């Protein structure tokens, strides 16, 4: 058998988004008992340097602290590592090279989730930090599928997204939700048929105000949780089959 399954979660970016991801892991994992739930170890250390400010040249790089988290998760025995923060994937390659456990990529999980939609959208709106937008991960993958991507403009980012995101980080969920809803509605008004909420603070805020357009959104954090749950279910099935074979050979 392969190494026992243990999901490592590199969190703290922010801590509420990490707790939200853990809740989504529970929701995504079918289980009849505690023992059937997905096993995980979580590095939820919010003192990691601000990713948005680092990429804007306004603060220190979070890479040393991210690498520390990866080291701790590997020491804890993680078999896979998930990062429920889109912007932190800017350092994905460096983190992957430093990890014995494979790192799951949130964009891969999101694209798999979109592929399972009953009706493929022709135009998708992307709500994300400037760093994620500049990286172009989502735009490139969506373009490969022939999907047009609609992005926030600079004024919208400064007036709605950035203050909305930081409102969530200080616990003002309703305020953050109202601001981020304006960003979402602007993209929908420009023709987006689906929205990718590519910042883990956004779904938390929009759910807090019960935004009426949530059915038109794709949550990368949820997609990542579903991918983790599927890996766990595949492992659990393989392990159970292995045990049954061993018992039948005795």
| pLDDT of the chain, 250 residues: tens digit per residue | 568 999 999 999 999 999 999 999 999 999 999 999 999 999 999 999 999 999 999 999 999 999 999 999 999 999 999 999 999 999 999 999 999 999 999 999 999 999 888 888 999 999 999 999 999 999 999 999 999 999 999 999 999 999 999 999 999 999 999 999 999 999 999 999 999 999 999 999 999 999 999 999 999 999 999 999 999 999 977 755 544 455 555 5
Spell out the domains of the chain, with CATH numbers in brackets: 7-104+222-248 (3.40.50.1860), 107-218 (3.40.50.1860)
Distance CA 119, CA 117 (A): 5
Note if the bond before 13 is cis, omega within 30 degrees: no
- The DSSP letter of residue 47 is T
Residue 165 annotated to the active site: no
Among 85, 165, 218, 228, the one annotated catalytic = 85
- Separation CA 35–CA 57 (nearest Å): 46
pTM: 0.93
Question: Among 165, 199, 218, 228, which one carries the catalytic annotation?
Answer: 199
State the Cα angle at 186 between 119 and 153, rounded to 5°: 110
Among 104, 133, 122, 146, which Cα is nearest to 8's?
104
């Amino acid at each position: 058998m392969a190494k026992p399954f243990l999901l490592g979660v590199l969190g703290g970016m922010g801590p509420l988004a990490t707790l939200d991801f853990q809740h989504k892991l529970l929701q995504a994992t079918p289980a009849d008992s505690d023992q059937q739930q997905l096993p995980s170890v979580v590095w939820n250390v919010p003192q990691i340097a601000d990713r948005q400010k680092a990429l804007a040249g306004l603060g220190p790089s979070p890479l040393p602290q991210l690498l520390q988290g990866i080291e701790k998760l590997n020491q804890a025995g993680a078999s896979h590592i998930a990062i429920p923060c889109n912007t932190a994937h800017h350092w994905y390659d460096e983190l992957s090279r430093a990890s014995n456990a494979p790192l799951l990529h949130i964009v891969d999980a999101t694209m798999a989730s979109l592929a399972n939609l009953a009706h493929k959208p022709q135009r998708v709106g992307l709500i994300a930090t400037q760093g994620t937008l500049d990286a172009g991960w989502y735009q490139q993958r969506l373009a490969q599928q022939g999907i047009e991507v609609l992005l926030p403009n600079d004024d919208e980012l400064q007036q709605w997204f950035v203050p909305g995101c930081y409102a969530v980080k200080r616990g003002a969920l309703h305020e953050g939700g109202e601001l981020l809803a304006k960003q979402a509605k602007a993209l929908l008004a420009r023709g987006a048929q689906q929205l990718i909420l590519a910042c883990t603070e956004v779904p938390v805020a929009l759910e807090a105000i019960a935004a009426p357009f949530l059915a038109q959104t794709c949550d990368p954090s949820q997609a990542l949780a579903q991918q983790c749950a599927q890996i766990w279910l595949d492992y659990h099935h393989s392990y159970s089959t292995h045990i049954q074979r061993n018992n039948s050979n005795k």
